[in-house]
């Protein structure tokens, strides 16, 4: 009996010692200024009935220094990403390019020859993968009526029926269905849905449990929305992008693709607005994070930062100048107010200059 008990204990010990080490991000001790800044940020949200903050996590130099959950937020609860999903779809495109399955110059129509309508707009024939990535399809409105807001079984076919009044590559219009087409392209060339394709390439290397990713009626991950991740999962992606595609010393995302994803490609404006609306809107480089330029399914920000951005305030903010990442989940009605609070409260605590300080320096 004693021998059997000893053997059982030994097996349990060996199994425990063989378990993979935790892949969670390392924690560090926050300075008093960072702790106070996060508390102030949370307090600002609590005062605003239009700002329902769910979580905030602050990393610097690769370590989590502060994290708080409130309202619907929880450390172990995946949160809806809305358009933060786009950044992950773009990452899948980058993997497929690195594997020689497509290029940014490929024409969209080349992937779906059997889905093209007879009356397709001539400009549609010129749309490239790069135009999809940069939201420069040439449409002046998102084609939801032809696709997901209708009972059409094929969103791919519906996309091709939409008008394209502007030359592709010359006109920015935020377009979630363009990202859906990227997801469809990845599935076409790899034979896998984006979520499955990312599993060995991104989810597993980052220690992210395979997430939920919503699908269209034709069985394609929505691409531009529909992904669910935990706050720490978002932070892992932000840190990986900050480190040029490396996670814990391993090159996970090709470095050249990270550079392409995160650097300025085209001028832009907020979702729902057209380029011609910007002059009268009062949006400037000094007061708006939505006119700093668009990359590949990511936005440039003030302070040389960039972000994955989802409706109602889902953010992965990457700040190279202070070697930091700030992640936020929430339901907010004033997204610029949230970003202003990040720049005015959290960013200075990380060693950066607030917008006011930056303007004072320029005037001096």
pLDDT of residue 248: 96
pLDDT tens digits along 118-168: 999 999 999 999 999 999 999 999 998 677 777 778 999 999 999 999 999
300 sits in which H/E element: strand 299-300
Please determine, for residue 341, whether its predicted confidence score (pLDDT) is greater than 90. yes
What are the Cα distances from residue 86, in Å, to 126, 140, 187? 22, 20, 15
Please determine, for residue 21, whether its predicted confidence score (pLDDT) is greater than 70. no
DSSP tag of 266 = B
**Three-state secondary structure readout of 60-116:** ECCEEEEEEECCCCCCCCCEECHHHHHHHHHHHHHHHHHCCCCCCCCEHHHHCHHHC
Please determine, for residue 31, whether its predicted confidence score (pLDDT) is greater than 60. yes
pLDDT of residue 360: 58
Please determine, for residue 88, whether its predicted confidence score (pLDDT) is greater than 70. yes
pLDDT tens digits along 296-311: 999 999 999 999 999 9
Tokens, residue 346: 């959290």
Contact 336, 288 (CB under 8 A): yes
pLDDT of residue 2: 45
Please determine, for residue 11, whether its predicted confidence score (pLDDT) is greater than 70. no
Separation between Cα atoms, residue 207 and residue 264, nearest integer Å: 29
> End-to-end distance of the chain based on CA atoms, in angstroms?
83
Beta strands 306-310; 79-80: pairing state: unpaired
pLDDT tens digits along 216-260: 999 999 999 999 999 999 999 999 999 999 999 999 999 999 999
Contact 328, 345 (CB under 8 A): no
Task: Report residue 356's pLDDT band, with 50, 70 and 90 as the boundaries.
Answer: low
């Amino acid at each position: 009996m004693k021998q059997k008990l000893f053997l059982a204990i030994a097996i349990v010990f060996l199994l425990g010692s063989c378990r993979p080490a935790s892949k969670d991000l390392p924690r560090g001790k926050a300075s008093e200024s960072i702790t106070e800044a996060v508390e102030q940020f949370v307090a600002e949200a609590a005062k605003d009935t239009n700002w329902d903050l769910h979580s905030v996590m602050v990393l610097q130099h690769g370590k989590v220094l502060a994290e708080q959950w409130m309202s619907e937020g929880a450390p172990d609860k995946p949160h809806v990403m809305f358009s933060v999903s786009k950044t992950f779809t773009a990452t899948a495109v980058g993997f497929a390019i690195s594997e020689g399955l497509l290029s940014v110059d490929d024409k969209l129509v080349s992937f779906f020859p059997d889905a093209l309508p007879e009356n397709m707009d001539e400009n549609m024939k010129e749309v490239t993968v790069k135009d999809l990535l940069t939201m420069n399809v040439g449409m002046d409105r998102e084609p939801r009526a032809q696709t997901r807001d209708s009972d059409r079984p094929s969103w791919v076919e519906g996309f091709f029926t939409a008008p394209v009044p502007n030359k592709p590559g010359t006109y920015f219009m935020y377009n979630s269905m363009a990202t859906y087409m990227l997801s469809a392209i990845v599935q076409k060339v790899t034979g896998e849905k984006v979520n499955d394709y990312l599993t060995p390439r991104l989810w597993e290397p980052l220690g992210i449990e395979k997430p939920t990713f919503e699908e269209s009626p034709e069985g394609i991950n929505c691409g531009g929305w529909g992904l669910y991740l935990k706050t720490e999962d978002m932070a892992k992606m932000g840190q990986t992008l900050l480190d040029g595609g490396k996670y814990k010393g391993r090159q996970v995302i090709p470095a050249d693709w990270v550079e392409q994803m995160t650097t300025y490609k085209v001028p832009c404006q907020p979702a729902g607005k057209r380029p011609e609306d910007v002059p009268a809107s009062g949006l400037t480089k000094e007061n708006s994070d939505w006119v700093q330029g668009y990359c590949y399914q990511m936005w440039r920000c003030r302070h040389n930062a960039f972000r994955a951005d989802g409706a109602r305030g889902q953010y992965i903010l990457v700040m190279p100048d202070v070697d930091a990442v700030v992640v936020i989940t929430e339901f907010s009605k004033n997204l610029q107010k949230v970003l202003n609070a990040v720049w005015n409260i959290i960013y200075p605590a990380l060693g950066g200059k607030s917008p006011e300080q930056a303007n004072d320096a320029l005037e001096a």
